Structure 1
């Protein structure tokens, strides 16, 4: 069978062409240029079916990769492929990188394989991407050079006899060559706040298919080819198709049909900034991404590292943002080296797909130790709320040498016979659903409503809640992953509380509807020498600011006992 015959015959034994196979050589160029290091967090812009994101996740190891694309079909395909490959450190989200609110200062590197040429406002888009990069973070992208330097488009134009005529791409304002001019692109990136901008020539061909038939099928899927053919009568269409077949035949090699292309690797860097976040006070230090227990945990410290350490352990689905900046500052003012961190599946720490945690509850306990180890802290004063209080209890039982004191807020031992949650709360929890996790305002409304549901008679400060939840959403590439905590089974300590010998403080709301006050009383009774401080009017929640005058001195005092 001749090549021409194969081009006109139905082929069932040749793999169909896709963008990954077409751009296989460019993919390798981008992979080398990106130089992703172990532990890095990667943003893949215009990820398509997710090949580049999967490769980035594998290179990042304990880091993580997030792929974004505006195509719902592509994101669905990418999720399926990542699931089939059993890659845990990967997320995908349908989003427009020009306007999406990424977690600020989160990613070490942003990459893109021909996914940045179609922004309505390129300067605004790259400025938005820049805010997602940590200070000193880099962007590495591959973009097409000028149209006339790319045989893959010029030769097809010639075959269609469209040289000099407007194409569908132009009419749709989708210009794949919009970032071809290094001078113009440098100006765009500089206006977006980037520095150290460079361009590297890429002279690699594209593969349109294994043979002429596959290549023709691929080309006929191009929207601008379909548009031009639709404007022709049947006879003109046949002549055009004949010219395309001849073109593809002339470019057929043993390993497929290849046409020439030219591209740029564009590199730029977000300038380094000071190490203290503006959002926090003078004792707040830069967030750190630390390897711990096989994952990456984001931590932030306050105060003098030579002072006694206090580790704050959050409740279920709660990032460290729930430990208010001012709360942490006040503890540091009391002579403490304060450490807060995002538990896994929250904030900037490693997250797993929602509904599919590949770990058990014990991992959260080991993570807390991992934070202390990573920071070189031998022992710490533990302050845990709700689930975090349960983690602190287990640590005090299992690792008494690592625990200097214990503060349990809105916590429980889980012992049988304790008072159940209020009937009102049970009814409200049964009526609720989940928000659209990709909608920032919906998530803020969801958690604000939850705060009202769990609060006592102390009025909820809604403005403060919106600030906390908004920041948590901004910092969390996959905020829905926090729901994974509810699938975990915890270790019960109710029969071993008598083994706890460190100074212990029990802070419990008198109006807690989830763990009624009797839970706090039981903890104080079962832990020898524990001090119970009733917090009047507080429900199942972080101590609200009106109670800080009592809470913070009590925590500092128990740590000095």
Structure 2
């Protein structure tokens, strides 16, 4: 990999968090896949499309884009070696020869100028150290008239997983989950900031659409609670308290998530999943 300026994120996503995401990528895809079709539709590329996937992670959106651009090509870039290993293995297993993956910092990577018709990202653009520089660099990789389309979290209170974690304040040292305007999951929750950043980076026709999707977090409440508490924020919080307090938090989270269980058959049927709502901005822009 060439130059990296976002060293904090590079370290994070190549440590335990990146390994956890790679190991459980099927579960993360079940959580976030409701945004796939709106995202790819908004990018408006065809069968010959040349597509750049920013912060591609384990590559689900890259592989879906490769199927749409069956006569084109897709390049997925991410900082996380563990997730890119998973992406390459999945693409090989599915027989996709028109998608490749590169470990790179999209803020500074020397993309070929004007090489892509579209750039897409599902939750992969909120951790840039310098978002204006990053989007300007991505814009340089697009042809004139090329489209940028990405999904990023909208208002924090619209996301059910955050409400679940905040319900644990009685048991765990629940802190902030990202500050609007700073690198993190809610960096672009203010749509006016999205417009300002993209305009400064050289994009035009910046549009934001409020979208929502329901994701599946686990088989049942207990399974979903275990998964949430094994993510980076969950491990951080439970690591600061006693085993007894952590177990009380787990029980409380399980109780909270029972209200989100979907049951098979009638109301007395067995749980078939825990579904939580996520709200996001679907952002599109054009390179002049």
TM range (shorter): 0.7 to 0.9
Q: Which residue is equivalent to 1:257?
A: 274
Pick aligned residue for 1:24 from 22, 30, 33: 33
Q: Which residue is equivalent to 2:269?
A: none
Superimposed CA distance per residue, residues 77-113 of structure 1 (whole angstroms, 9 cap, x where no aligned partner): 1111111111111111011111111111000000000
The verdict on how the C-alpha distance between 1:163 and 1:181 changes in structure 2, with shifts beyond 3 A counting, is farther
Q: Which residue is equivalent to 1:225?
A: 234
Q: Which residue is equivalent to 2:102?
A: 93
1:168–1:227 CA contact under 8 A, matched in 2:
no
Shift of residue 148, structure 1, vs aligned partner: 2.2
Find the aligned partners of 1:59 and 1:150 in 2 and give their Cα distance.
Answer: 29
Return the structure number with greater strand share.
Answer: 2
Find the aligned partners of 2:170 and 2:37 in 1 and give their Cα distance.
Answer: 33
Shift of residue 174, structure 1, vs aligned partner: 5.2
> Secondary structure, in 3 states, of the residue corresponding to 2:189?
coil
Shift of residue 240, structure 1, vs aligned partner: 1.1
* TM-score between both structures, scaled by the size of structure 1: 0.44
Find the aligned partners of 2:44 and 2:160 in 1 and give their Cα distance.
Answer: 29
> Secondary structure, in 3 states, of the residue corresponding to 1:53?
helix
Shift of residue 147, structure 1, vs aligned partner: 1.4
Q: Which residue is equivalent to 1:269?
A: 286
* Higher Rg of the two aligned structures: 1
> Secondary structure, in 3 states, of the residue corresponding to 1:204?
strand
Find the aligned partners of 2:26 and 2:84 in 1 and give their Cα distance.
Answer: 19
Q: Which residue is equivalent to 1:135?
A: 144
Superimposed CA distance per residue, residues 495-533 of structure 1 (whole angstroms, 9 cap, x where no aligned partner): xxxxxxxxxxxxxxxxxxxxxxxxxxxxxxxxxxxxxxx
Shift of residue 235, structure 1, vs aligned partner: 2.8
1:45–1:68 CA contact under 8 A, matched in 2:
yes
Find the aligned partners of 1:133 and 1:221 in 2 and give their Cα distance.
Answer: 38
> Secondary structure, in 3 states, of the residue corresponding to 2:112?
coil
Find the aligned partners of 2:193 and 2:172 in 1 and give their Cα distance.
Answer: 25
> Secondary structure, in 3 states, of the residue corresponding to 2:167?
helix
The verdict on how the C-alpha distance between 1:140 and 1:250 changes in structure 2, with shifts beyond 3 A counting, is same
Find the aligned partners of 1:96 and 1:126 in 2 and give their Cα distance.
Answer: 12
For structure 2, the 5+ residue unaligned runs are 1-23, 264-271
> Secondary structure, in 3 states, of the residue corresponding to 1:261?
strand
Q: Which residue is equivalent to 1:82?
A: 91
Query: Which 4+ runs in 1 deviate beyond 6 A?
Result: none
1:22–1:207 CA contact under 8 A, matched in 2:
yes
Shift of residue 228, structure 1, vs aligned partner: 1.2
Find the aligned partners of 1:27 and 1:215 in 2 and give their Cα distance.
Answer: 22
* TM-score between both structures, scaled by the size of structure 2: 0.83
For structure 1, the 5+ residue unaligned runs are 1-14, 272-561
Shift of residue 163, structure 1, vs aligned partner: 9.8
Pick aligned residue for 2:191 from 182, 190, 193: 182
Q: Which residue is equivalent to 1:287?
A: none
Q: Which residue is equivalent to 2:256?
A: 247
Alignment of 1:331-410 (within 5 A): none
Superimposed CA distance per residue, residues 216-265 of structure 1 (whole angstroms, 9 cap, x where no aligned partner): 23212221111111122233222211110011211110341011221010
Alignment of 1:464-503 (within 5 A): none
Superimposed CA distance per residue, residues 442-467 of structure 1 (whole angstroms, 9 cap, x where no aligned partner): xxxxxxxxxxxxxxxxxxxxxxxxxx
